[in-house]
Chains A and B, each alone.
Chain A
């Protein structure tokens, strides 16, 4: 069930990992062993991963924060191993937007400044906006309108926003400047049950509009309905250590 349908689009896959192994420093066994993982451009994938299944490790590998001990991983056609650590940081800023489970925002910045921060760290995001003829501020306003964030909400410090507002600001920050990939790590777990599906739909819709691939990680299969594909991390991760941890 882990095999991805190949050749869906003409472009290179957004994420392609092969023969990838990772072991945390000082650990005795690998925590992640993935033979193949492919995420096509624009594809929206639900990755089911309970805690302990190597989820954070996989996301850090795709983000280029850590490097696999063996195997290759490419994002947007770029093999991450060929980049220096600093270049990987810039690459992540340019091509990947993250939405975390909780505490996505810098508490001392306003909602607006939190969204704009993604552009501050990435020249590519700024230039993509400039090519589209949109100023970052105008793009913030557009995203805020689509994500149902009022103007006064954007002006308030992030620490004063509700959890739902924080998650929508985080989504706007991940999406601004049209990165090719959005990674959401359990972004709904802190929301009320009835808000969860609404947020997932919002994220799916915005990724579709901007053409970004979405890797949505959650343990809650009820949210998987509207995705192109569902992957089970436990099934694709062959690491013995991960199995032990789960046991």
Chain B
């Protein structure tokens, strides 16, 4: 078998150009397959960690996915609010370590306004427990000093070019994002940006965060979703009113011990008098991903097809070369090569080319990750890992290698048949 390997390599070297092109095609397809697999895993992981470190999300009684969608992803609206008394009861539960209320309903130029407390910045975690970081400035101060202070997400700041000190006006209503109905502006009570958050890849990037009291303050002269006619209270006078929140949309809860999470969940779900729903964000995120994950699996299937096309091209090149190499096979037979050695020669050639393609694909993948990772992280908050191939990726590589082994049998078998049929007859 030794002369076979040497001959294989020399024969490949002789057809460098066509061989290089097919290897590049295979390398590109392998890089695409692995890239999709890695992106898909990292996207799923990033998605599953949109919110981490929060043990329970509590809102008005309703579906788990719906609650997660409006409270964390700011998609859709809550059917009901939760009263402040319920919030206080939740906070008083012995297992609850912290509670961050969230009040939604207003928007700013299509971005959701999140009314919350400064605790949000300490307790909201994403990814592997990463805290929110400030690109500029600080968190809004507690009322009354920080009543009209706002913190904007990275996307909001980037999209509108906002900097610290700029004043923004919030709008009532938030249905359907930028193009949706916006009922009226709270133009009389502008907010001052005091902080810009770093990029997280979560919905926080597209949020404007203000204090709960600020939300109350812009609504003191409103009733039932519209300004009360003839009543306008200037911002300097608003502090005289009771600005403590009456109700909020949802709450993020952290427990002393995660072990208690199911017990606390059941306790909240059955607690009176107000009907509440408590969900485990991680589990619900997985459920949500299984809905959107179809696209990601389709993408993987398409890239698997691309690999199949690449390998088919490789086999086509080797098979096409066989026609002009029939005399070569006859020479080898005359020199004492057995039909099995001829088979091995051709099989080895295809396998070597596939291996080169796979290695090239891995190289392309790591090169692309090294180049694109900073940009992906900055623009999409997607963290691509440059580590060793995961178990799933090894499985894919194994599948590609298996497919290439199977494909290599095509030219090998053909050459075997030729060498048996031709014998020592030199056919041109």
Contacts and interface: CB of A to CB of B under 8 A. Distances in A.
B10 A90 contact: no
B13 A60 contact: no
Interface string A96-121: 00101111111111000100011011
Contact of B426 (A93, A102, A106, A117): A102
B11 A108 contact: yes
Nearest to B334: A98
Contacts of A103: 327, 331, 426, 428
A63 B334 contact: yes
Contacts of B340: 86
Given A60-B424, A108-B10, A100 B336 contact: no
Interface string B309-348: 0000000000000000001100111111111100000000
Nearest to A84: B338
Contacts of A118: 335
B424 A98 contact: yes
Nearest to B9: A108
A66 interface: yes
A59 B337 contact: no
A221 interface: no
A246 to B, nearest CB: 19
B423 A60 contact: yes
Nearest to A104: B331
A197 interface: no
A109 B426 contact: no
Contacts of A104: 331
Contacts of B336: 89-90, 92-94, 121-122
B88 interface: no
A94 B7 CA distance: 19
Contacts of A66: 423
Interface string B2-27: 11001100110110000000000000
A121 B7 CA distance: 11
A130 to B, nearest CB: 17
A85 interface: yes
Interface in B404-428: 423-426, 428
B426 A100 contact: yes
A94 B334 CA distance: 11
A103 B426 CA distance: 8
A65 interface: yes
Contacts of A93: 335-337
Contacts of B335: 93, 98, 117-118, 121, 173
Given A89-B337, A120-B3, A121-B337, A105 B424 contact: no
Given A90-B336, A93-B336, A120-B2, A101 B426 contact: yes
Nearest to B11: A108
A175 to B, nearest CB: 13
Contacts of B423: 56, 60, 63, 65-66
A121 B13 CA distance: 21
Interface string B189-223: 00000000000000000000000000000000000
Most buried by A among B337, B338, B339: B338
Contacts of B6: 120
A117 B3 contact: yes
27 contacts: A56-B424, A63-B424, A65-B333, A65-B423, A65-B424, A85-B338, A85-B339, A89-B333, A90-B336, A93-B336, A94-B336, A98-B334, A98-B335, A98-B424, A100-B426, A103-B331, A103-B426, A105-B331, A106-B7, A106-B10, A106-B328, A106-B332, A108-B11, A120-B2, A120-B3, A121-B3, A121-B336
Given A108-B13, A121-B335, 9 more contacts: A60-B425, A66-B423, A86-B340, A92-B334, A92-B336, A93-B337, A98-B335, A101-B426, A103-B428
Interface of B: 2-3, 6-7, 10-11, 13-14, 327-328, 331-340, 423-426, 428
Q: Which 3 A-B pairs have the closest CB atoms?
A: A93-B336, A108-B14, A120-B3
